[in-house]
Amino acid sequence: MGVDKIEESSVRLLASSSSGGSTGSRWVDGTEVEWEVTPWTKENENEGLRSIRRRLVKKPKRVDSLDVEAMEIFGKHDHHSKDPSFWTTLALAFQTLGVVYGDMGTSPLYVFSDVFSKVPIESEIDILGALSLVMYTIAIIPLAKYVFIVLKANDNGEGGTFALYSLICRYANVSLLPNRQQADELISSFKLKLPTPELARALTVKETLERKSSLKTLLLLLVLMGTSMIIGDGILTPAISVMSAISGLQGQINGFDTKEVVIVSIVVLVALFSIQQFGTGKVGFMFAPALALWFSSLALIGIYNIFKHDISVLRAFNPAYIYYFFMKNTKTAWSSLGGCVLCITGAEAMFADLGHFSVRSIQIAFSFVVFPCLLLAYMGQAAYLMKHPYAHSRIFYESVPESLFWPVFVIATLAAMIASQAMISATFSCVKQSMALGCFPRLKIIHTSKRFMGQIYIPVINYFLLIMCIVVVSIFQSTTSIANAYGIAEVGVMMVSTTLVSLVMLLIWQTNLFLVFGFLLVFGSVELVYMSSVLSKITEGGWLPLVFACFFLSIMYTWNYGSVLKYQSEVREKISMDLMVDLGSNLGTVRVPGIGLLYNELVNGIPSVFAQFLLNLPAVHSTLIFVCIKYVPVPVVPLEERFLFRRVGPKDYHMFRCVARYGYKDVRKEDHHAFEQLLIESLERFLRKEAHDSSWEVNKNEDMDSVSAISKDSDLPSGNVSEDLRIPLMQGQKPEETGASTSKQASILLPASAMSSDEDPSLEYELAALREATDSGFTYLLGHGDVRAKKNSIFVKKLVINYFYSFLRNNCRGGTANMRVPHTNIIQVGMTYMV
């Protein structure tokens, strides 16, 4: 009798709502609930209700959409997917000057001064050799490697180490978080082209990565190390760029010494980080004209010096001078590579900042503006040194015509500020991607552009970078010491990118093995030589980026490690479906009108936190939806493919599972009303599709004169793939049409017979009950989890989980902060996870 009570009460609510009134109490604020349950008597039960009950009790074959999603690609959904117009591309290319290339553009301020601080100028071989080394370093790493190869390894327009990692995770199941589903592979933005059986090598690589957990961990650590070094670049780039520009005043103003350089540099840094809140787009348009003027100045001053002092520096195009340079200087030449590598600082920003722009715009800007201007600038400085070899310590400002010093100084200072923008933007992008893939604590993210999703601002990271920059400038007080630290971070990021791109070439591009070997041999060997040089500077400041990298690596790996253990604990402790069946449709309590959205991380099963709600709440909602917010390794999940639904338990339980999928570029900023509306519309679509497929199966069985067996529903996934729905829940519906009538949308996909109340009254009853619950309001049920290591765990695990991971969880952005939901609509219960 108790099992049927909620069902009959729901029928009574349906009757009252259909008559235009509502007599039941409503769940208003999630904290105070009043309800009235009228006893059900057999005298009130008519034949029509008996028929509805029989249809609800019948358990047809499971039909759900949890494991499979769209089978066709309906279009690409990111801003990089459609080829922009020529003028749009040029406008983006112009913006890249202010965001991407500022760091590399300001390298002429300090490259030769650092190189010749280690190699004394004794003959023209020293100058021509150093110039040739700089020229070919720029041609090999930024131009050949990044512009023509690495940029093509983007993840639907996203770049950076985490974008490469997510791309690899899509083609091989190497993620340490075991929540991957078959449905994820059918998101249109996945665009999977799995290794074909004919290419045994690609399959072997894939199977090896998936089979060995040690390789998965090693791959993750490699990605985290690269990301940590990018963040380290975001600290060192502003420090060295601004100090290099301000130091030009030391030889121009009497009494302007190191102390004054540090003070002015700090003021400039504060101003730079203060404007980050306005967004990359506004900053780019504001900075791009200044950088365009800067690159023009570099080119014109370079041409002036070449023709005035020594046009013979054009001989440096002959790479033989690199050989002569090393033969003459041997060990000191090898040591000078630490200064030479500074000419390509910011090369990684071309890839990391790709989400802010497009591949074509970055390629155009570098090939036709940045590359030729830099070559002219370095050749001009070399020509000046041919006549004035003792001016190497202040070579940039010494080579500027005296009448142009102050205009160039102002432009150089602006350019130095802008140089920092490249790595600051790259740092924001990398942190956002790492957060979405479960490798960084949750932080507040501000989306600064309505047109381009990649343009974001993270206040906490911005302030952290500012404080660290001030500390670095105050401690080192010298660009030479910062340059020693800078090289390690820059080359380390490049080596990580080379390794990951090589894996992409093997696994995804299925490139010829000889070409992959050639890529590794050419670029890997060059980067190894540079790394061997910069590592020798550890005691001279090179320890700083290693400290930064270890700090961020420990944070990211601790967060990922704790999150994986917490998820595994939830999987182990999930509630058995047999227990839910024993409780009955009223779940051992009272069901009241309304929809309860219980947030959890499980994609299968009933979370253990649900038992805490049953024990602590006097009632639960008439409709329960277990919502799982899941990030998948794609940049963007189209809105019409956002939700996957499955029924949990028998029909009269009115419980469902919803997996809401987001890409690592998606920003969850939608209003909770819009989220609720889209969720309910998707649920109605699922119910109609379920009823249609069940009706089709029944008709087929009747035609075969066979009796349909009543099977027991469960929450476990079916092993038969053919049972799954193979259409998106919101297929064919544009985001702006989400407010349209669900019944009209469904009529496009389903025959009228599938929606007829005469054919399937249980569907109409369930839809009406869902609308009744929707009118009663939504309540968000959240578990406030405390993660603790088991008592028999080793000491290191207890230290990491009980202190470090708990500290990060307690101080990061909470789950309620990510939802724009009134606090009166939220209920939280405590839960301890033993891992």
Percent of the chain with pLDDT over 70: 75
Share of the chain above pLDDT 90, in %: 10
The pTM for the full model equals 0.71
Query: Is pLDDT of 749 > 50?
Result: no
Distance, in Å, from the CA atom of 514 to the CA atom of 505, rounded to the nearest integer, reads: 11
Given a cut of 90, whether residue 515 has pLDDT beyond it is: no
Q: What is the DSSP letter of 367?
A: I
B/e letters for 716-753, b = 16+ CB within 10 Å, e = fewer, are: ebbeeeebbbebbbbbebeeeebeeebeebbeeebeee
- Whole-number pLDDT of residue 65: 34
Do you know the residue count of the chain? Answer: 835
Query: Comparing 457 with 189, which gets the higher pLDDT?
Result: 457
Q: pLDDT class for 183, splitting at 50, 70, 90?
A: low
Q: Give the mean model confidence (pLDDT) for residues 427-456.
A: 76
Half-sphere exposure (Cβ direction) of 617: Cα atoms closer than 13 Å: 30
pLDDT of 306: 94
Average pLDDT on 602-609 reads 83
Q: Which of 362-366, 584-588, 776-780 has the lowest mean pLDDT?
A: 584-588
Mean pLDDT calculated for residue range 283-304: 84
pLDDT of residue 832: 80
Least confident of 113-122, 185-194, 463-472: 185-194
Residue 589 class from Cβ within 10 Å (0-12 exposed, 13-18 middle, 19+ buried)? middle
pLDDT tier, 819 (very low <50, low <70, confident <90, very high otherwise): low
Q: Is the pLDDT of residue 349 over 60?
A: yes
pLDDT tens-digit series, residues 390-402: 888 888 888 998 8
pLDDT of residue 565: 87
Question: CA torsion angle for 71, 77, 83, 87 (degrees, to 10)?
Answer: 170
Look at 199 and 115; give whichever has higher pLDDT. Answer: 115
- Both tokens of 243, joined, read 């100090």
HSE-CB at 222 with a 13 A cutoff on CA atoms is 18
Q: Which residue has the higher pLDDT, 290 or 35?
A: 290
- Of 37-46, 791-800, 807-816, give the range with the top mean pLDDT: 791-800
Q: Mean pLDDT score of the chain, rounded to an integer? A: 75
Whether the predicted pLDDT of 734 surpasses 70: no
What pLDDT, on a 0 to 100 scale, did the predictor assign at position 450?
63
- The pLDDT assigned to 76 comes to 35
pLDDT at 330 (0 to 100): 86
- State yes or no: pLDDT of 13 exceeds 50: no
Q: pLDDT tens for residues 480-501?
A: 778 777 788 888 888 988 998 8
What pLDDT sits at residue 431? 84
* 624 vs 59: which has the higher pLDDT: 624
For 244-256, the pLDDT digits (tens) are 878 877 777 777 7
209-236 pLDDT, tens digit each: 878 888 888 888 888 888 888 888 888 8
Q: Work out the pLDDT band at 732, boundaries 50, 70, 90.
A: very low
Which of 187-191, 325-329, 347-351 bottoms out in mean pLDDT, i.e. has the lowest?
A: 187-191
- pLDDT category at 743 given cuts 50, 70, 90 is very low
764-787 per-position pLDDT tens digit: 888 888 888 888 888 888 877 788
- How many Å apart are CA 395 and CA 392, to the nearest integer? 5
Alpha-carbon torsion (640, 643, 644, 647), positive or negative:
negative
The three-state (H, E, C) secondary structure of 608-643, written as one string: CHHHHHHHHCCEEEEEEEEEEEEECCCCCCCHHHCE
Identify the helix (H) or strand (E) that includes residue 51: helix 47-57
Residue-wise pLDDT for 384-438, tens only, equals: 999 988 888 888 888 998 888 889 888 888 887 777 776 777 788 778 878 877 8
d(CA 69, CA 85): 33
Task: Please give the pLDDT value at position 327.
Answer: 92
φ, ψ for residue 833, nearest 5 deg: -105, 120
Beta bridge partners of 647: 656
The helix (H) or strand (E) run that includes residue 73 is: none
- Can you read off the two tokens belonging to residue 253? 């103003």
At 247 the pLDDT is 80
pLDDT in tens, 128-155: 999 999 999 999 999 999 988 888 887 7
